[in-house]
């Protein structure tokens, strides 16, 4: 019994002593850690603005026989002590916030934070440039590169908030380059993209295009034209090229429609990419979002035959889904034209070459039809089927009707394979996806020397 | 006749000699173990206490030096560190005081090795003149005070196999390995405490190692590092058998108001007090 009591007392005393030693050792560790944190704060004062901007550095240091892990962080603060460039938008870069955290990993793998020290550092006098990159969901885009060249040169990469900030810049005009390989702006312009900024001697400057700079991983498509109605075979269609437009998404608009011309044009309008690539070159398609939560890209583009905006068919036709990095091979509808050409004497003839033009006053689109080789002949007549762009009036897709859009076309016909064109304005022509539309052209008695 | 009742003999149960000896031996073993634990624990506790004591003595002294050095940039084109500063003598100007117009003072902090083992702050008045370019220059005046900042101090040593670390080390900006995204080479204060951001290189290259600074070197000093081993108030062997009690304290003071230039050609320079 007495031995048991002695053992219990001894254990309790030993436990108390060990606990006491642990407490003292912990105090010692905290004291050493605080000194290391102070020293790291002092070190940060010697770094440049570029090194401080979004600094996230971890290194180890020994004090006595103990190793500590020191984490240094620094970023620009706004006037309201928030992040200068946060996901909610940019603000002025007033100070650098610096934080040094010292931790120790114990024998069991537990990480204990022993000391944290923080302060602010005033940036250099001079102008600042703040560029914020967003992706197609209007969220910060990290990893985009910005270079500025002007009175001095600087370069940086966007952080998790999508921001790059250059401070202490000499005033003047800077040429900016945004680079993110495989990315395009909302209008489909491929990276690297150019911009300018005029930096004042003080304060913060946004790029000429304004913040945020939106970049999305490009998608691409290869379109194939098909006739919607009629039963000609082969099912061929002709156009001068393809056009595409998106109404945008996540508050990001597409500034203007884009088109891609190809010559010659046939049913498979191109074997290579028509509207974009995911690589370093070419034209790409910005992946506008259709909905944000969850993020989808369904039917975010409309694609049509022809190179004019006013050839755009009614809303909802030939919608294409372009997701980041995706490639699409959609079939694009064309109205079916039943072309009949009459000589000045009223007889029907089969021209060797026909050019049909459409104009809305600002945009003219011409597509070539060669009846003998590409047209689909109706029985033994001189009448031919062609798939053609949805073009008949200046009304664009939003106001057009799938059942018909009536207007006129200009036709140039060469009857003798000698580039001696007869030019005429067609009778009323109705573009329609639902019915074959006849187009009869009565040629004048003499050829023209221009305009065809 | 009454007869006294006969008392029954008491039980004779008890510890046998063997049991007693076994118990004593067990008790002695337990007590010996306890004493050993107590001895080790007390030594460790004393060691830890001594280190805490040393650290607590060192921090206020170092903070005082830091405050004086942080007040060392007080005039345009004035350089904080003065010619003659060496591994054992830190000579600098500072401007402090409670008056609306602070007073410029000349400091010389001397490390005195064994057997003195002290760190002493000698403060002098200053006299101001103007150089040929019309720039004010401050000169050492008369001794105003001499204050012992720390006792029981010695030069620190990273490890037993390595040489003693100079008490005062001086650093100027220099190019470092690695370039930024624009291809501009980094400029850093090469104090070797951490990798250069953007690279994995730790650069350590103090000015005039082991010697006193000349005028050109002193004018470029943008960082001072102080390295000392500070012992407890009672001395290095205070109540312990350990001979290495004392805590290595290392602090750096950077003479910058704003971040340095990103690279050569930027607006900000690499001089001290910018």
Query: What confidence tens digit (pLDDT) does each residue in B111-145 have?
Result: 999 899 999 999 999 998 888 888 888 999 999 99
Q: Write down the pLDDT at residue A242.
A: 82
* Chain B residues touching residue A125 (CB < 8 angstroms): 258, 267-268
Contact A124 B258 (CB under 8 A): yes
CA distance A252 to A230: 40
SS3 assignment, position A79 = coil
Q: Mean pLDDT across the stretch A413-430?
A: 83
The position carrying tokens 């109540």 is: B239
Q: Both tokens of residue A8?
A: 């219990």
Q: How close is the nearest chain B Cα to the Cα of A181, in Å?
A: 16
Please tell me the predicted confidence (pLDDT) of residue A172. Answer: 93
Integer Cα distance of B229 and B48 in angstroms: 15
Best B24, B183, B267 residue to mutate vs chain A (most A CBs within 10 Å):
B267
**Average pLDDT in chain A:** 82
Report cis status (omega within 30 of 0) of the bond before A192. Answer: yes
* φ/ψ (deg, to 5) at A41: -60, -40
The average confidence (pLDDT) of chain B is 82
- Cα distances from A178 to residues A143, A155, A192, A196, in angstroms, run 11, 10, 5, 11
Select the more confidently predicted residue: A34 or A393. A34
pLDDT, tens digit, for every residue of B64-82?
Answer: 998 888 888 887 777 899 9
Tokens 């798939």 belong to residue: A387
User: What average pLDDT does the segment A210-220 reach?
Assistant: 92
What is the spatial distance between Cα A410 and Cα A106, in angstroms, rounded to a whole number? 85
Range with the lowest mean pLDDT among A48-57, A315-324, B17-26, B229-238? B229-238
Tell me, what's the pLDDT at A393?
A: 64
Strand ranges (E), A78-151: 85-86, 89-90, 95-105, 111-121, 127-134, 145-149
| Rounded distance between C-alpha atoms, residue B7 and residue B198, angstroms | 99
Contacts of A248 (CB under 8 A, 6+ apart): A186, A254, A288
User: Furthest-apart CA pair in chain A: how many Å?
Assistant: 136
Q: Are A145 and A179 in contact (CB under 8 A)?
A: yes
pLDDT number for residue A6:
65
Whose CA is closest to A416, among A344, A332, A350? A350
**pTM higher than 0.80:** no
Neighbours of A349 (CB within 10 A): 16
Lowest model confidence (mean pLDDT) among A119-128, A167-176, B121-130? A119-128
Greater pLDDT, A144 or A1: A144
Nearest CA in chain A to B184: A154
Q: Mean of the pLDDT values across residues A271-297?
A: 67
B2 pLDDT above the threshold of 60 = no
CB A402 within 8 A of CB A433: yes
More confident residue, A111 or B74: A111
pLDDT band at A215 (very low <50, low <70, confident <90, very high): very high
Top-confidence residue, B258 or A196 = A196
Work out whether strand A111-121 and strand A204-205 pair parallel, antiparallel, or are unpaired.
unpaired
DSSP state of A33: H
Asked if A287 contacts A300 with a C-beta cutoff of 8 angstroms, the reply is: yes
What pLDDT was estimated at residue A403?
Answer: 62
Q: Is A389 exposed, middle or buried (0-12, 13-18, 19+ CB in 10 A)?
A: buried
The pLDDT > 70 percentage for chain B reads 85
For residue A217, what pLDDT is reported? 92
A381 or A159, higher pLDDT: A159
Residue A405 has pLDDT above 70, yes or no: no
3-class state of residue A176 by DSSP: strand
C-alpha A437/C-alpha A179 separation (Å) is 48
- Nearest-CB residue to A155 (from B44, B45, B180): B180
Whether pLDDT at B241 is above 60: no
CA contacts within 13 A on the Cβ side of A13: 18
Q: Is A147's pLDDT higher than 50?
A: yes
A365, A373 in Cβ contact below 8 A? Answer: no
B positions 17-56 inside 8 Å of A (CB): 23, 26-27, 30-31, 33-34, 37-38, 41-42, 44-45, 48-49, 51-52, 55-56
Q: Which residues of A194-214 are buried (b: 16+ CB within 10 A; e: fewer)?
A: ebebebeeeebbebebebbbb
The fraction of chain A above a pLDDT of 70, given in percent, is: 86
Distance from CA of B223 to the nearest CA of A (A): 8
Say if the Cβ atoms of A18 and B51 lie within 8 Å: no
Q: Is the pLDDT of residue A302 over 60?
A: yes
Q: Could you tell me which chain A residue has the CA closest to the CA of B45?
A: A21
pLDDT value at residue A145:
93
Question: Does residue A141 carry a pLDDT above 70?
Answer: yes
Is the predicted pLDDT of residue B107 greater than 60, yes or no? yes
Determine the pLDDT at residue B240. 47
Distance from CA of B224 to the nearest CA of A (A): 10
* Angle (nearest 5°) at CA A402 between A396 and A407: 55
Partner-chain residue, chosen from A14, A42, A168, that has the shortest CB–CB distance to B268: A168
What token pair was written down for A144?
A: 């985009």
Residues 224-253 of B with CB under 8 A from A: 247-253
Q: Report the candidate in A154, A157, A180 with the shortest Cα–Cα distance to residue A169.
A: A154
Indicate the pLDDT class of residue A68, thresholds 50, 70 and 90: very high
Query: Is a pLDDT exceeding 70 seen at residue A275?
Result: no
Res. B159: pLDDT tops 90? no
Find, among A449, A137, A86, the residue nearest to A290 by Cα. Answer: A137
Q: DSSP secondary-structure letter at A249?
A: B
Residue bearing tokens 């998404």: A249
Listed in sequence order, the DSSP H helices in A352-435 are 371-374
User: Which uninterrupted H or E stretch holds A226?
Assistant: strand A224-227
Q: What is the pLDDT of residue A264?
A: 42
Compare all CA atoms of chain B with the CA of A21 and give the residue at the minimum distance.
B45
* pLDDT at residue A258, as a whole number: 85
Q: What is the mean pLDDT of residues A250-270?
A: 70
Please state, in angstroms and rounded to a whole number, the distance separating the CA atoms of residues A159 and A140.
8
Confidence class for position A232, pLDDT limits 50, 70, 90 = low
Strand partners, A58: A71
**Is the per-residue pLDDT at B37 higher than 90?**
no
Give the Cα-Cα-Cα angle B246, B249, B252 (nearest 5 degrees). 170
Mean pLDDT of A162-173: 87
Q: Which of A316, A329, A299, A323 is nearest to A136 (CA)?
A: A323
Q: Which of residues 344-403 of A touch B (CB under 8 A)?
A: none
Q: How high is the pLDDT of residue B63?
A: 87
Instruction: Please give the average per-residue pLDDT across A401-407, as a whole number.
Output: 66
A222 vs A247: CA distance, rounded Å: 20
For residue B103, what pLDDT band results from cuts at 50, 70 and 90? confident
Residues 6+ apart with CB under 8 A from A322: A219, A220, A221, A246, A285, A286, A287, A288, A297, A300, A301, A328
Residue B27 predicted with pLDDT over 80: yes
- Burial class (CB within 10 angstroms; exposed 0-12, middle 13-18, buried 19+) of A441: buried
Q: How far is CA B32 from CA A3, B37, B38, in A?
A: 13, 9, 10
Residue A201 has pLDDT above 50, yes or no: yes
**Does the structure show a pLDDT above 80 at A106?**
yes
Among A91-95, A373-377, B101-105, B211-215, which stretch is predicted with the lowest mean pLDDT? A373-377
Instruction: Report d(CA A92, CA A76) in Å as an integer.
Output: 9
Q: Among A216-220, A234-238, B43-47, which stretch is predicted with the lowest mean pLDDT?
A: A234-238
Name the nearest CA neighbour of A147 among A162, A167, A166. Answer: A166
Residue B53's pLDDT is 80
Crossing angle between the packed helical segments B17-70 and A2-44, to the nearest 10 degrees? 10
Give percent of chain A above pLDDT 90. 26
pLDDT at residue A142, as a whole number: 93
| Between B97 and A14, residue with greater pLDDT | B97
The pLDDT of residue A278 is 35
């Amino acid at each position: 019994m007495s031995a048991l009591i002695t053992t219990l007392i001894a254990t309790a005393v030993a436990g108390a002593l060990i606990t006491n030693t642990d407490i003292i050792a912990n105090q010692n560790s905290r004291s050493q850690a605080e000194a290391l944190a102070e020293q790291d704060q002092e070190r940060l004062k010697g770094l440049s603005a570029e090194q401080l901007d979004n600094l996230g550095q971890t290194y180890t240091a020994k004090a006595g026989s103990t190793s500590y892990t020191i984490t240094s962080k620094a970023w620009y603060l706004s006037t309201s002590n928030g992040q200068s460039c946060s996901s909610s938008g940019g603000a002025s870069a007033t100070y650098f916030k610096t934080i040094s955290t010292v931790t120790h990993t114990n024998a069991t793998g537990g990480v204990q934070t022993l000391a944290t020290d923080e302060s602010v550092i005033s940036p250099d006098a001079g102008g600042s440039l703040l560029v914020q990159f967003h992706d197609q969901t209007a969220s910060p885009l990290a990893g985009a590169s910005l270079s500025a060249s002007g009175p001095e040169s600087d370069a940086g990469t966007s952080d998790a908030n999508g921001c790059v900030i250059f401070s202490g810049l000499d005033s003047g005009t800077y040429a900016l380059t945004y680079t993110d390989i495989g990315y395009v702006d909302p209008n489909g312009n491929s990276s690297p993209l150019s911009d300018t900024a005029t930096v004042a001697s003080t304060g913060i400057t946004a790029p000429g295009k304004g913040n945020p700079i939106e970049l999305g991983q490009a998608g691409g498509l290869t379109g194939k034209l098909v006739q919607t109605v009629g039963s000609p075979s082969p099912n061929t269609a002709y156009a001068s090229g393809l056009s595409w437009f998106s109404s945008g998404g996540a508050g990001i608009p597409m500034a203007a429609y884009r088109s891609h011309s190809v010559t010659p044009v046939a049913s498979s309008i191109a074997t290579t990419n028509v509207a974009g690539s995911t690589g370093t070159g070419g034209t790409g398609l910005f992946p506008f979002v259709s909905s944000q939560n969850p993020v989808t890209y369904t039917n975010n583009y409309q694609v049509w035959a022809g190179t004019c905006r006013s050839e755009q068919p009614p809303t909802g036709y030939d919608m294409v889904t372009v997701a980041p990095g995706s490639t699409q091979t959609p079939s694009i509808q064309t109205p079916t034209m039943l072309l009949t050409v009459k000589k000045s004497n009223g007889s029907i003839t089969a021209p060797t070459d026909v050019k049909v033009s459409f104009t809305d006053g600002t945009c003219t689109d011409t597509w070539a039809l060669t009846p003998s080789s590409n047209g689909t002949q109706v029985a033994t007549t001189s009448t031919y089927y062609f798939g053609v762009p949805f073009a008949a009036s200046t009304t664009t897709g939003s106001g057009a009707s799938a059942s018909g859009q009536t207007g006129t076309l200009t036709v140039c016909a060469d009857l003798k394979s000698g580039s001696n064109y007869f030019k005429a304005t067609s009778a009323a022509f109705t573009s329609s996806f639902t019915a074959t539309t006849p187009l009869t052209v009565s040629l004048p008695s003499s050829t023209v020397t221009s305009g065809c | 006749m009454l007869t006294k009742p006969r008392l029954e003999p008491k039980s004779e149960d008890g510890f046998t000699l063997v049991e007693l000896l076994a118990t004593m031996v067990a008790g002695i073993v337990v007590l010996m173990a306890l004493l050993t634990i107590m001895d080790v624990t007390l030594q460790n506790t004393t060691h830890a206490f001594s280190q805490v004591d040393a650290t607590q003595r060192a921090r206020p002294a170092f903070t005082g030096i830091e405050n004086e050095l942080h007040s060392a940039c007080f005039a345009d084109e004035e350089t904080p560190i003065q010619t003659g500063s060496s591994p054992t003598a830190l000579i600098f100007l500072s401007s402090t005081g409670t008056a609306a117009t602070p007073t410029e003072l000349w400091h010389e902090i001397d490390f005195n090795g064994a057997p003195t083992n002290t760190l002493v702050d000698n403060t002098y008045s200053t006299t101001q003149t103007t150089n040929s370019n019309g720039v004010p220059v401050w000169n050492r005046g008369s001794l105003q005070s001499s204050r012992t900042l720390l006792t029981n101090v010695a030069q620190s040593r990273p490890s037993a196999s390595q040489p003693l670390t100079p008490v005062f080390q001086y650093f100027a900006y220099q190019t470092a390995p690695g370039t930024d995204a624009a291809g501009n080479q980094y400029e850093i204060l090469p104090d070797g405490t951490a990798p250069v951001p953007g690279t994995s290189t730790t650069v350590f290259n103090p000015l005039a190692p082991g010697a006193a600074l000349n005028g050109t070197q002193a004018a470029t000093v943008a960082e001072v590092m102080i390295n000392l081993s500070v012992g407890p108030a009672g001395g290095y062997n205070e109540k312990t058998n350990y001979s290495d009690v004392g805590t290595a304290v290392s602090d750096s003071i950077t003479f910058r108001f704003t971040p340095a230039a990103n690279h050569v050609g930027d607006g900000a320079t690499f001089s001290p007090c910018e």
